[in-house]
Amino acid sequence: MFRVRLLPIVLAVFATSSAGAPAWSQAAQDASATGLKIKVVPAKVPPMPFPPGSEARERVHSIQLISAGQMSEKDKLLEADAESSIQERTHWADMDFSQGKWSYRQLVCPALPNHLFLQFTRNNGTGDVSVFSASIPRNGEGRVRIVPIQRHGYSLFSPAPINAITISAFNHIRAEEHADRPPDWLTTGLCYAALAGAHPETVLYEDNSNERKEFPAAPAPIMQIPLGGGAVLRFADVSVSPRPMLWTMTFNGKGKLLKATHSPAPLITAKVVTPASPTLKVKQVPQTIVDLNPNSKPE
């Protein structure tokens, strides 16, 4: 089982009587003796879009990329049917989808199974690379959406990972999923990073961390649940060289993404200390002879 660190969730605060019994229990006994009725109000649980225990059994630590030739025939047909919509959506971003040769590959996102995600790239040489992501609903409920990443080697508007357009598209995609249960929080974060142009890969550490023989290269992924509800996801993308990038995503209680940031992750430094062999210090003491025979005479 992998570690999931949560901020303290305050569900109820109970005082304790001097005898060690909860104060509410003592108050109930006193009220019962006086004939008063007490109504127990359940503690209010803060809204959580990713409740503890909703994690996938087999955690995904990266987003799989599949070439167009390896895609299923069903997904290829879905892409072909959506090309006219993709061209329409890219027109306002001046991505020149109808010009030049574009290639694409699939982003496999288990957290959003009702959508097909593709990453389109046109490479005209150094300094002239255009990239955008496309989301196509599988069940026909929803619309084709694109996430502009680069145009002729430059970021559009602001970098895609923190762009309001990316955040808005991601929220619409999640709403179109109509999921019957909360998705895995880490996979959700990895999917967002992939749509924003990254090829995210994080690291998962098992609970028996004391038995690890290698030191971690980056912080472990964590989910924090603030007291008012919602969730804050953090994970380090170790695929970035020379330094991992830390992604942070803030969701409200209804699961809407409010903010996303990414910045260089703090490096974990460790120093192996080899125990030195104990050194014995020897002090020479002058030899003393003690004669225990009382009848002996000095020579």
Q: What is the model's pLDDT at position 69?
A: 95
Q: Which amino acid is at 179?
A: A
The pLDDT value recorded for residue 18 is 40
Distance between CA atoms of 299 and 87, rounded to whole angstroms? 119
Tell me: the pLDDT tens digits for 101-151? 999 999 999 999 999 999 999 998 877 899 999 999 998 889 999 999 998
Of 33-47, 215-229, 245-259, the range with the lowest mean pLDDT is: 33-47
Q: Which residues contact 55 (CB under 8 A, 6 or more apart)?
A: 2, 4, 184, 185, 186
In this structure, what is the dihedral angle of CA atoms 161, 187, 55, 212, given to the nearest 10 degrees?
-90
Which of 24-33, 89-98, 123-132, 236-245 comes out lowest in average pLDDT?
A: 24-33
Name the pTM for this structure: 0.75
* pLDDT exceeds cutoff 90 at 3: no
Per-residue pLDDT of 4-53, as tens digits, reads: 444 443 333 333 334 444 554 565 566 566 666 777 777 778 899 999 88
Residue for token pair 């942070």 = 248
Distant-in-sequence, close-in-space partners of 52: CB < 8 Å, separation ≥ 6: 4, 6, 225
**Pairing state between β 129-137 and 115-123:** antiparallel
What number of residues does the chain have?
299
Radius of gyration of the chain from its Cα atoms, rounded to whole angstroms: 31
